[in-house]
Structure 1
Amino acid sequence: MEDFARAVEDGLKLSKRLVLPGGVPPPRPPAGMERTMSSASASGPDPRLLPTAPMAYAVVTDPAAIDTPDVPSYQPYVYGHLDPPALIPLQMKEVDLAVDCALDAAHVTLRARWWLHCITRSRDCDVRLVVPLGEQEQGSILGAEVTVGRRSYNTQVIEVEETLENHAKIESGGLLKPHLFFLTISQVEGGADICATFRWSQKLLYDSGCFSVDIPFHFPYFVNPLPKVFMKREKVQLTANTGFSKEVFLQGTSHPLKEKSRQGDKLFFLHEAIVENWSSKVFNFSYSVYSGDLSGGVFVQPSILCDYDDRDSFCIFLLPGSGNRKVFRKAVVFVVDTSGSMQGKPLENVKHAVSTALSELVQGDYFNIITFNDELHSFSSCLEQVNDKAIASATDWMNANLVAEGGTDIMHPLSEAMALLSSVHDTLPQIYLITDGSVDDEHNICQTTKTEVTNRGSKSPRISTFGLGSYCNHYFLRMLASVGKGHYNAALETASIENQIVKWFRRASSTIVENISIDAMTHLDEFEVSLCMIGGF
């Protein structure tokens, strides 16, 4: 991502050649921004140049093409070819955000219109559209449509084999990183409008009885066109389908939403206004559902004609309620990867995060720590009772023994952790696996774990998994967490490791209901269960 930020920085420098209608330069940065960018250039690109909202960029290889399209200005001729190309952020004319919240997910639709304000009308360039999907909320792109003049483009789901055979076409769209989706539109003429619609989904966060969602909607100053040239109309609409017939309370919102109507368990909110500048903060919305006791419901969805999956589906959901509840006493084993790739900051951040997690255990809980690479090392030969002395001793042990070296062997420490937890009674056994690696026997690990979970029944430990970095096999960790009835999460950037691990631990350790059984399956010939937990279950 440093290359991306550096290309944007080069683009902003090139855009200083522009003289916009009215004889004025492009919008200036806020006070102190230029100074910060200059100091950042000395040590590397400014991370604030990475997209924090859907953005469009002119991909410039020939600096001579840079000029205002409507009123060309005198530009000293420049020579040379930019390799890699610079990225000039395009000014945005319109934006419309629609968020539909239902159960544990938010489905987002964003429509925006940009114009290619930095390329003379006699020339063209590629335009790159980038959409941040919300890294911490596990966003997934659902589709995109783009219109440029009489040309239109849309995304399409293709088979994996077809993707491999047509690898060259991936350059026109895909993922820059797991949380950054991009599309490239070729040969867009200077002055043209680019109209795009993006659809993606994000997980709703649930904490202390409150549902919330954060949508990337923070537009930088340089996408604001001159107010005398374009009137900026911003529209945000949100629907909350709680699924409960209980009273719903709005806890907070980042933008001035007004409640328009309530229809049963559905709420409708709207914000529409002429604004001086586009939104400069993440869109946040949070609400709570009043319930003094555990409550829930069932959604049934018949199969749709011509659907790829022609099976009927149902969703059973539970809400813990707002009353004071006790979580289970816990017996936890942290299984930490100490292979060579964990060297440096990643392992240091993991140490701090595990220390924080240990400090949040209470008297009556039990714990242990297992580290693994080519070998296995344990803090203790048995589970230790939680007390100040044991926690301090474990922290000292980690500081002395968590050294990154060797390879990755996951099955051995998992088996050891299960053996440690096999003797616990009247506690909820849990395994927390933290790794940045990939292994060759993922299928066998999942199958072996599934067999162990089945054989142990209700006494089987829950296995939660956490992946570090983009080279980790995140799909395997998701599957292992699903088999182990635990929680999965990840940190793709080193700086977010500690914070994300602590959140993951709190979420996975706040269990108040376990081993739920459903006695309505006797009349079904076949069914498949997919476990999705956003709270303490």
Structure 2
Amino acid sequence: MAEDFARSVDRGLNLSKRIYYGKEPPKLLSMERKMPAAAESNLPTAPMMYAVITEPVIVDNPDIPSYQPYVHGRCEPPALIPLQMHAVAMEVDCYLETVFVTVSGTWRVHCVSASKTCDCRVAIPMGEQGSVLGVSIETPSRSYCTELITTDETDDPVKLANAKDGFLLKRQIYTLKVPKVVGGSVLSVKVRWSQKMLYQDGQVCLSIPFSFPLNVNPVVKKLSKKEKIILNVNSGTGTVVCCQSASHPLQESNRSGGNIGFIYESEVFMWSTNDFSFSYTVSSVENSCGLLLKSPSRHDFDQRNMFCFYLYPPHDILGKLFRKEMVFVVDTSASMQGSPLEHVKTSLQSALSKLDPEDTFNIIAFNDMSLSFSPKMEPATKETIDNAIQWINLNIVANGSTNFSLPLDQAMKMISKSKHSIPLLFLITDGTVEDEREICEVIRCQLTKGGLNSLRICTFGIGYYCNHYFLQMLASIGRGYYDAAFDTESISSRLERLFSSSSSIILADIKIDALQYLDSLELYPNSLPDLLSGNPLILYGRYHGNFPDNVEVKGTLADFSNFEIGVKVHKVMDMPLERVFSGRQMSMLTAQAWLTGKKELENKVIRLSLQTGLASEYTRMILVESEKGKQISKRETLKEVMMTDSTVRKILYLRQLGLGFGNLKATADNLPPEAAEPKLHETSDAIFTAAANCCGKLVDCCCCMCFIQFCSKLSDRCAVTFTQLCTALACFECINVCCEICECCDFCQ
């Protein structure tokens, strides 16, 4: 689907060459036309708006109408022309691992005749683990805003089930369409999303898509373009923020303890061409850990108190890692054929090459059968690794169906009882099976004792057909980590990161003494994972009871010595913990609801989703259209909206944004992961007809702007006749006529 989007933008850029801007095209326009076209570069790298063009004839400058070669036919699928942006501002709020981003901007429909209308599509690229929180759009006559509803709030479940718009490209670019916008209109757009910060080389790193292509810069001369970024960082308590790098020239605006604010505001010649990035470090060992307490607000449906514990990897133990025993369990069913399996094999070979000689490993390839590299764990010597790589190339071949139980059972039996290492099991799959609940229960029973040397389970899902909640639950039971790739290109990078980070354990068997004395406790994740050299350990929970002023945290280091640290407890008011950890909490609750089938857990997810604005498996996003000045109040329910005058308010149903619970039929049929991607355009696979054959060749093979300027110098009757003649010749592939005009006309000299 991402490729379809890029192709539609490429067609739109070709169509936009029909637009006449006057005798002297702006400098930015000339620069843009000299840049080489690349399909991948046509995907949005910042919040964008596009005109959706199905009728090429409507493409024109709404301010300066010009004589155009008439185009017969339609754009199927529609072309997407990037709209010109007139203003942009971004506000970023960082809390520990979570970032909330709000981008406001204005775009003008500069490419459609003033007497015509077109749909407009908004695209919102998000950073690491991004989740859209809301979109609001103002047109001259109407306003649109997204809301969350439950599935029982609508009287038309058919419309809900057949919703076509509002979806994710590559699971990281959210897009939806606004209908019938008049050419020349100015759109005011506000988009909100959340994403995660990464921890790299001792720094907390943020990266937000904020790189705008040249074609969004207005061609109007003397138009002031102001760019504004506000950044607020709340890292906990104490003076812990030390800025390390920033992509834009930020100025510090305020600082108070662990809170620090920055601002950047400038009048620019062109919009930002770099993503916004920022990194900071924790300044001292004393501030590398903390426990925060917060009381619920009166609007919170859960009136239990909240706590957050964070522990950053101490610098003095970063290089000391536990010895590893690693078993890789790899899905080789027929659905993994091609790029998915090749990416997995590349990542697997990379992981093996990074093992130390004292580590041990094994590999199990499975479909409906299983095949292991060795009947026992093997030392990671150079010779053994070379043999394993040869075995991978010969034996990891896509074929057959999917069965988890047998390979998981084999892997757990292979793990030795050594007291000098931590065993790790990695499960990689793109499918789902019927006995996943039984698998979770069996493994839970086998790991009940826990302890330092118990098995850690890490899981990796590919595409939409696997049950990601099963994989999350399995990782939680095994005190490991979960990750996923929803497009083929990201498999290698994400899988290698999971291998590298999950195996870099520096502190294991962690215990927080105060937790056992609470009256009740709900913890996310459910069990305490290990501290990794590349990730801080962050826990969130709800509780009844009382925390002491100081708590003790204990664990075991890689040399099997004891680790102890005292953590001071702080009460916070300015950190919205319920929002910061809502994504983590909802994912875990949904996994528990899937495993147990308890309706009360589903209801809890629904209430949390509606409270935080984060879509879930049990809620849906809708787009509410209303006349200007008659926006819907937050207090109104969907049923109340539906009862109002339909000409005033209209509900547009959007697609489900959840991951789903796997697809047994698709797994049984061995459908490839890419088959699950929704289609960008719900049309037949028609070609880009007359618009591509005629106008596309005019603008690509000749100087179309010269032709338009030439026509503008003729009388009306002569111009119309000449335009019709050239269009007819273009339809017969006679493009040379236009080329001859360009060679001899005064405009080309």
| TM, length-normalised to structure 2 | 0.67
For residues 274-293 of structure 1, give each alpha carbon's deviation from its aligned partner in whole angstroms, at most 9, with x where no partner exists. Answer: 11111112211111112347
Instruction: Find the aligned partners of 2:149 and 2:409 in 1 and give their Cα distance.
Output: 38
Instruction: Find the aligned partners of 1:59 and 1:361 in 2 and give their Cα distance.
Output: 51
Instruction: Find the aligned partners of 1:354 and 1:240 in 2 and give their Cα distance.
Output: 37
Offset of 1:402 from its aligned partner?
Answer: 0.8
Which residue matches 1:527? Answer: 521
RMSD: 2.3
Question: Is 2:288 the partner of 1:277?
Answer: no
Question: Is 2:132 the partner of 1:141?
Answer: yes
Instruction: Find the aligned partners of 1:475 and 1:333 in 2 and give their Cα distance.
Output: 22
Q: Relative to structure 1, is the Cα distance of residues 281 and 100 closer, same or farther in structure 2, using a 3 angstrom cutoff?
A: same
Secondary structure in 1 matching 2:515: coil
AA aligned opposite 2:227: E
Q: Relative to structure 1, is the Cα distance of residues 244 and 395 closer, same or farther in structure 2, using a 3 angstrom cutoff?
A: farther
8 Å Cα contact 1:28-1:222 kept in structure 2: no
Return the match for 2:202 from 209, 227, 240. Answer: 209
Instruction: Find the aligned partners of 1:161 and 1:414 in 2 and give their Cα distance.
Output: 39
8 Å Cα contact 2:236-2:258 kept in structure 1: yes
Which residue matches 2:478? Answer: 484
Question: Is 2:421 the partner of 1:430?
Answer: no
Offset of 1:470 from its aligned partner?
Answer: 4.0
Q: Relative to structure 1, is the Cα distance of residues 368 and 217 closer, same or farther in structure 2, using a 3 angstrom cutoff?
A: same
Question: Is 2:363 the partner of 1:369?
Answer: yes
8 Å Cα contact 1:293-1:322 kept in structure 2: no
Q: Relative to structure 1, is the Cα distance of residues 376 and 169 closer, same or farther in structure 2, using a 3 angstrom cutoff?
A: closer
8 Å Cα contact 1:61-1:85 kept in structure 2: yes
AA aligned opposite 1:405: N
Which residue matches 1:14? Answer: 15
Question: Is 2:217 the partner of 1:220?
Answer: no
Question: Is 2:17 the partner of 1:5?
Answer: no
Greater shift in the superposed pair: 234-243 or 20-29 = 20-29
Instruction: Find the aligned partners of 2:363 and 2:40 in 1 and give their Cα distance.
Output: 35
AA aligned opposite 1:423: K
Which residue matches 1:297? Answer: 290
Which residue matches 2:719? Answer: none
8 Å Cα contact 2:290-2:309 kept in structure 1: yes
Offset of 1:186 from its aligned partner?
Answer: 0.8
Secondary structure in 2 matching 1:358: helix
8 Å Cα contact 2:48-2:122 kept in structure 1: yes
Q: Relative to structure 1, is the Cα distance of residues 260 and 424 closer, same or farther in structure 2, using a 3 angstrom cutoff?
A: same
Offset of 1:451 from its aligned partner?
Answer: 2.9
8 Å Cα contact 1:294-1:321 kept in structure 2: no
Instruction: Find the aligned partners of 1:279 and 1:536 in 2 and give their Cα distance.
Output: 31
8 Å Cα contact 1:133-1:140 kept in structure 2: yes
For residues 36-59 of structure 1, give each alpha carbon's deviation from its aligned partner in whole angstroms, at most 9, with x where no partner exists. Answer: x3xx6xxxxx11111111111111
For residues 231-281 of structure 1, give each alpha carbon's deviation from its aligned partner in whole angstroms, at most 9, with x where no partner exists. Answer: 111111211212142443222111122222221011111111111111112
Offset of 1:441 from its aligned partner?
Answer: 3.0
AA aligned opposite 1:240: V
AA aligned opposite 1:154: C
Return the match for 1:321 from 300, 314, 323. Answer: 314
AA aligned opposite 1:264: G
Q: Which has the larger radius of gyration?
A: 2
Which residue matches 1:74? Answer: 67
Offset of 1:376 from its aligned partner?
Answer: 1.0
Offset of 1:30 from its aligned partner?
Answer: 4.4
Say how many residue pairs are matched: 526
Return the match for 2:440 from 425, 446, 451. Answer: 446
Q: Relative to structure 1, is the Cα distance of residues 337 and 239 closer, same or farther in structure 2, using a 3 angstrom cutoff?
A: same
* Structure 1, gaps ≥5 residues long: 41-45
- Percent identical pairs in the alignment equals 45
8 Å Cα contact 2:238-2:287 kept in structure 1: no
8 Å Cα contact 1:290-1:322 kept in structure 2: no
Q: Relative to structure 1, is the Cα distance of residues 399 and 334 closer, same or farther in structure 2, using a 3 angstrom cutoff?
A: same
Offset of 1:338 from its aligned partner?
Answer: 0.9
Which residue matches 1:354? Answer: 348
Secondary structure in 2 matching 1:516: strand
Which residue matches 1:466? Answer: 460
Q: Relative to structure 1, is the Cα distance of residues 180 and 108 closer, same or farther in structure 2, using a 3 angstrom cutoff?
A: same
Q: Relative to structure 1, is the Cα distance of residues 252 and 275 closer, same or farther in structure 2, using a 3 angstrom cutoff?
A: same
* Structure 2, gaps ≥5 residues long: 538-749
8 Å Cα contact 1:337-1:371 kept in structure 2: yes
8 Å Cα contact 2:282-2:288 kept in structure 1: no
Which residue matches 2:511? Answer: 517
8 Å Cα contact 1:329-1:426 kept in structure 2: yes
For residues 27-84 of structure 1, give each alpha carbon's deviation from its aligned partner in whole angstroms, at most 9, with x where no partner exists. Answer: 23547534xx3xx6xxxxx111111111111111112221222232233333222222
Which residue matches 1:155? Answer: 146
Q: Relative to structure 1, is the Cα distance of residues 168 and 150 closer, same or farther in structure 2, using a 3 angstrom cutoff?
A: farther
Instruction: Find the aligned partners of 2:18 and 2:405 in 1 and give their Cα distance.
Output: 59
Greater shift in the superposed pair: 146-155 or 86-95 = 146-155
Greater shift in the superposed pair: 109-118 or 347-356 = 347-356
Matches within 5 A, 1:121-200: 121-134=114-127, 137-160=128-151, 165-167=158-160, 170-200=163-193
Which residue matches 1:420? Answer: 414
AA aligned opposite 2:15: L
AA aligned opposite 1:203: K
Q: Relative to structure 1, is the Cα distance of residues 443 and 286 closer, same or farther in structure 2, using a 3 angstrom cutoff?
A: same
Which residue matches 1:43? Answer: none
Q: Relative to structure 1, is the Cα distance of residues 402 and 522 closer, same or farther in structure 2, using a 3 angstrom cutoff?
A: closer
Secondary structure in 2 matching 1:166: helix
Offset of 1:21 from its aligned partner?
Answer: 6.0
Instruction: Find the aligned partners of 1:476 and 1:187 in 2 and give their Cα distance.
Output: 42
Instruction: Find the aligned partners of 1:79 and 1:352 in 2 and give their Cα distance.
Output: 49
Greater shift in the superposed pair: 104-113 or 236-245 = 236-245
Structure number with the higher helix fraction is 2
Instruction: Find the aligned partners of 1:490 and 1:334 in 2 and give their Cα distance.
Output: 16
| TM, length-normalised to structure 1 | 0.92
Which residue matches 1:392? Answer: 386
Greater shift in the superposed pair: 338-347 or 293-302 = 293-302
Which residue matches 1:380? Answer: 374
Which residue matches 2:500? Answer: 506
Bigger relative contact order, structure 1 or 2, given CA contacts below 8 A and separation 6+?
A: 2
Instruction: Find the aligned partners of 1:21 and 1:337 in 2 and give their Cα distance.
Output: 59
Q: Relative to structure 1, is the Cα distance of residues 168 and 23 closer, same or farther in structure 2, using a 3 angstrom cutoff?
A: farther
Greater shift in the superposed pair: 57-66 or 476-485 = 476-485
Q: Relative to structure 1, is the Cα distance of residues 278 and 168 closer, same or farther in structure 2, using a 3 angstrom cutoff?
A: farther
